[in-house]
Amino acid sequence: MRAPLVIAAGAAAGYALPLPAAHVPRLAHALGIDTTLMLPGPHLTFDDGPHPEATPKVLELLRDHDLRATFFLVGEQVRRTGALRDEIEAAGHAIALHGDTHRPMWRLTPRALKADLDRGEDTVRPTVDFHRAPYGAYSLPALYEVVGRGFNPLLWSRWGRDWRAKATREQITRDVTRDLSAHDVLLLHDADDYADPGSWRTMLAALPAVIEAVIAAQPTG
């Protein structure tokens, strides 16, 4: 009886191997999941939108500072918010895929996983080939499926932990800009549909200082 149990345990471990990659950079890199980008300076990314109130305000702040970002959009949010997806693209920002329903990928059956990616692609219409798993957590089959579709999985190297009701403007700014350097990928959230209600308001209060830090870290010359 021991051999089947060992095989089952090994299969389960393999299935779950990528789950902690967002918190273990060495694991992410070993699996081919990027946490940084070879761009001239740190890069802002926003998850979970678009949001009818937060996203336009984020776009306004980015426009005022002539800064570009990548928005990882959720299909169901795109369908709820009408033209916002196209407004993001028209403003010169990149649109990437965050899924269709923000369900944890490791809980989806193979059929449900493919259906979620299919509908998400059709709705979000990404302008870049980046994909980010909800909660930053891939199962091994999900990672294979995403890469097999031509997407580059992208996590982050700095995050603001801004989805929590207890987050403060100062804490978000400190966490997402600490030791900021070129090629860092910063994670913030421009929606609260999968977070504590109203959390986007605190993120928005922190965003001007975050933008200033990103601009200050841009290479000169």
DSSP letters for 12-47: HHHHHTTGGGGG-HHHHHHTT-BSB--SSS-EEEEE
Q: Return the pLDDT at 143.
A: 96
In the chain, the domains with their CATH numbers are 2-216 (3.20.20.370)
CA distance 109 to 143: 13
pLDDT of 13 over the 80 cut: no
pLDDT, average across residues 124-143: 97
The answer to whether 25 and 157 are in contact (CB under 8 A) is: yes
Q: Return the pLDDT at 216.
A: 94
Return the amino acid letter for 47.
D
The answer to whether 215 and 169 are in contact (CB under 8 A) is: no
Torsion of CA 194, 179, 127, 75, to 10 degrees: 0
* pLDDT tens digit sequence for 158-192: 999 999 999 999 999 999 999 999 899 999 999 99
DSSP letter assigned to residue 162: T
